[in-house]
């Protein structure tokens, strides 16, 4: 009996560090988040990933599990982000024909718009005396998460703060573009879709597909191009400005 207790004790100290524990918790929270999202009738201001992250944070806080231990255990899952980022090249290739039909507005809009998407936020935060870590975490705020994570690591930002920034940006871009398009009397799905993808990454793209397939296609194009363009210019500019 005492031997059994001893083994139980060893198990409780080992279990939190195992990959399966971290992966079970992550997957369970993910599906619970999706279920909850359905129950709440899919609110646009609260993407399922936010619900799932809150549930997972609650689980981690309740269980005798350290965040660093969890990060270590879940490494196998986060590694998959690498091949998943590479996989984004496939939809980018599939969207290329849209560039051919409307290349001039796209080529002329993308650089200033993508630079300003980062520039406004970094400029405002800098004026408000935010430290360099915060600036580096906010800079890729309009870039789709897997690419943005790579960028912020290059710049020396915090991945966690970036994730929060991505959520707020996505929700805010979706709201402001919907309202601005209504006030400005803009009905062109290509314009609205491109703006949604460029500013609101994946969250904006989901909204664009609600508007229509054309808006969705231009949103995924805007999202991919912004990701690629920002991944190229932002680290270079950052090193240049010091």
- Residues 118/124/129/131 CA torsion (nearest 10 deg): -10
| Separation of alpha carbons 199 and 241, rounded Å | 24
Q: For another protein, which is the closer residue by CB, 6 or 27? A: 27
Closest distance of CB 2 from another protein, Å: 36
Long-range contacts of 151-154 (CB under 8 A, 24+ apart): 151/230, 151/231, 151/234, 151/235, 154/235, 154/238
Closest distance of CB 221 from another protein, Å: 12
Q: For another protein, which is the closer residue by CB, 49 or 217? A: 49
| Separation of alpha carbons 1 and 89, rounded Å | 57
Closest distance of CB 158 from another protein, Å: 7
Q: For another protein, which is the closer residue by CB, 145 or 217? A: 145
Q: For another protein, which is the closer residue by CB, 6 or 77? A: 77
Closest distance of CB 58 from another protein, Å: 9
Residue 229, CB-side half-sphere exposure with 13 Å CA sphere: 21
């Amino acid at each position: 009996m005492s031997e059994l207790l001893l083994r139980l004790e060893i198990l409780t100290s080992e279990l939190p560090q195992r990959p399966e524990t971290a992966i079970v918790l992550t997957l369970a929270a993910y599906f619970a988040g999706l279920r909850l999202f359905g129950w709440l009738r899919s609110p646009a201001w609260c993407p399922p990933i936010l619900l799932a992250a809150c549930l997972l944070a609650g689980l981690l806080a309740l269980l005798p599990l350290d965040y660093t231990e969890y990060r270590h255990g879940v490494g196998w899952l986060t590694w998959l982000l690498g091949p998943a980022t590479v996989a984004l090249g496939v939809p980018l290739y599939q969207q290329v024909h849209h560039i051919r039909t409307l290349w001039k507005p796209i080529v002329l809009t993308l650089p200033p718009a993508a630079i300003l998407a980062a520039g406004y936020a970094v400029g405002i935060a800098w004026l408000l005396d935010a430290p360099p870590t915060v600036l580096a975490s906010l800079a890729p705020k309009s870039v789709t998460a897997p690419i943005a994570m790579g960028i912020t690591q290059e710049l020396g930002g915090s991945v966690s703060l970036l994730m929060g920034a991505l959520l707020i940006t996505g929700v805010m871009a979706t709201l402001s573009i919907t309202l601005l398009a209504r006030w400005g009397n803009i009905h062109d799905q290509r314009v609205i879709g491109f703006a949604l993808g460029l500013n609101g990454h994946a969250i904006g793209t989901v909204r664009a597909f609600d508007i229509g397939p054309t808006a969705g296609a231009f949103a995924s194009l805007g999202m991919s191009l912004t990701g690629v363009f920002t991944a190229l210019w932002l680290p270079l500019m950052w090193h240049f400005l010091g």
